[in-house]
Amino acid sequence: MFSEPLNCRQCGYLVSHHEHFCARCGFTLPAGAALGLQVKSLVARELPAAAKDLFKDSNYVEATLAERVAERVLKWAKYAGAIISIPVAALAALGAKAYIDLSDVSKELDKFEKRAQVLASQVDKGEEQARVLEVKIAAQMRQLDQAASAVQTATSKAGALDEQGVKLTVSLTKLGERIAKNEELAAQQFAALKQRLTTVEKRIAIPKYENYTKALDILARTIWGEARGGNKELREAIAAVVANRANLASTAGRSVLGETVEEVCLKAWQFPAWTPGNPNRGPMIAVDERDPIFIESRDIARRLLAGELVDRVSGATHFHFEGIQPAWARGHQPVARIDKLLFYARLELG
């Protein structure tokens, strides 16, 4: 309906009625500006044309006016006479009626102008409301931008926190694994230390001897003679019995079992291999380091005299083979069983 271009209020540039921004300066056109300008343009364009159309056939207008004037003259003639009607008819011929009709048109134009002014006022109000709305929308857009920025910032922070949380979880997991490994290692070390302490507690005190070389040789042959048919643990048990007997004298002040390694091993009727006539005596005295069991027996003897041997018989001083019951063992309970021998602790028997 409206296609006339508008003038930008900022720079005067012609702008199409459906544009919202000036193409030259970028000025924002008010929402109601186009409507107001279009109404004013329409009034300026259409009013002259309407008036021209109204009065284009002047002959018709004059004939109509004459006819109406003649009718009124005839009516007046009845009351005022022919003299008065003749001047009135002359006035009609001169265009008085046309003047009256033009006055009516002027009134209609005044009404139309007033309506146009009312419409223009409404357009101005619409423009003002549009400006207010535009300000509110701009404020809301700023708030939305701020909210979006805040959301973006919060999202970024949340992402950073998530990343830190993942790293912390990984670190805690690794720390937990290290703690578990350390606990396991600590438990192993504690067990090993406890075992070492227990071993130290069970080590046999170095027994008394008269001559180291002689004591080492006699002790090695005693171990070989009494336990060459058993295992290493049994041979260590025989060495422990010898040391426990010798150490009884150190704790009790005397012992009928002997006070030194040499005395304990050679005491009559104590170790069968040293008893005269025993078939093991000869081989025991003749064995040398060509025999691997004798070499091991000498090493056990060396460790005992160095204080490195562990007491596997819990302080036992006597032993016997399973299946026999010597008189001295009656009423006593063995403290250890190794191979086929039973061991008894701290018996002061000859």
pLDDT in tens, 309-330: 999 898 999 999 888 888 888 8
CA angle 59, 65, 67 (to 5 degrees): 100
166, 285, 303: which is closest to 236 by C-alpha? 303
CA 68, chain centre distance (Å): 102
Residue 35 is predicted with a pLDDT of: 55
Q: How confident is the model at residue 81 (pLDDT cuts 50, 70, 90)?
A: very low
Q: Where are the alpha helices (DSSP H) in 81-211?
A: 82-93, 96-202
SS3 208: coil
pLDDT higher at 77 or 131:
131
Range of weakest confidence among 43-47, 170-174, 204-208: 43-47
Q: Which residues contact 348 (CB under 8 A, 6 or more apart)?
A: 248, 252, 255, 256, 257
**How far is Cα 182 from Cα 174, in angstroms, rounded to an integer?**
12
Range of weakest confidence among 58-62, 213-217, 342-346: 58-62
Q: How confident is the model at residue 266 (pLDDT cuts 50, 70, 90)?
A: very high
Asked whether 254 and 270 are in contact (CB, 8 A), the reply is no
Residue 157 is predicted with a pLDDT of: 85
Q: How confident is the model at residue 83 (pLDDT cuts 50, 70, 90)?
A: very low
The yes-or-no verdict on residue 101 having pLDDT over 80 is: no
Tokens 């001559």 found at: 211
What amino acid is encoded at 265 in this protein?
A: C
Q: How confident is the model at residue 213 (pLDDT cuts 50, 70, 90)?
A: very high
Q: How confident is the model at residue 143 (pLDDT cuts 50, 70, 90)?
A: confident
Q: Measure Cα distances from 334 to 29, 60, 318, 341 in Å.
A: 117, 159, 9, 10
- Per-domain boundaries in the chain: 6-160, 212-345
pLDDT higher at 68 or 114:
114
**How far is Cα 291 from Cα 229, in angstroms, rounded to an integer?**
13
3-state helix, strand, coil in the chain (%, to 5): 65, 5, 25
Mean of the pLDDT values across residues 128-157? Answer: 83
The yes-or-no verdict on residue 302 having pLDDT over 60 is: yes
The yes-or-no verdict on residue 272 having pLDDT over 80 is: yes
Residue 193: strand pairing partners: none
Is the overall model pTM greater than 0.75, yes or no?
Answer: no
Asked whether 219 and 242 are in contact (CB, 8 A), the reply is yes
CA 218, chain centre distance (Å): 74
Neighbour-count burial for 22-41, b at 16+ CB within 10 Å, e otherwise = beeeeeebbebbbbbbbbee
Residue 193 is predicted with a pLDDT of: 54
SS3 204: coil
Mean of the pLDDT values across residues 252-265? Answer: 81
Residue 132 is predicted with a pLDDT of: 87
Residue 153 is predicted with a pLDDT of: 81
Cβ neighbour number for residue 334 with a 10 Å cutoff: 18
Q: pLDDT tens, 37-77?
A: 555 566 566 656 665 665 555 555 455 655 665 566 456 54
Residue 96 is predicted with a pLDDT of: 47
pLDDT higher at 296 or 126:
296
Q: How confident is the model at residue 80 (pLDDT cuts 50, 70, 90)?
A: very low
Q: Where are the alpha helices (DSSP H) in 55-95?
A: 58-80, 82-93
Asked whether 98 and 62 are in contact (CB, 8 A), the reply is yes
User: Length of the chain in residues, anyone?
Assistant: 350
The yes-or-no verdict on residue 113 having pLDDT over 80 is: no
What amino acid is encoded at 302 in this protein?
A: R
Q: Which residues contact 81 (CB under 8 A, 6 or more apart)?
A: none
For the record, the structure tokens of 60 come out as 């018709």
Percent of the chain with pLDDT over 70: 69
Cβ neighbour number for residue 221 with a 10 Å cutoff: 24
Averaged pLDDT score across all residues of the chain: 77
pLDDT higher at 292 or 194:
292
Q: Measure Cα distances from 19 to 2, 120, 294 in Å.
A: 13, 20, 119
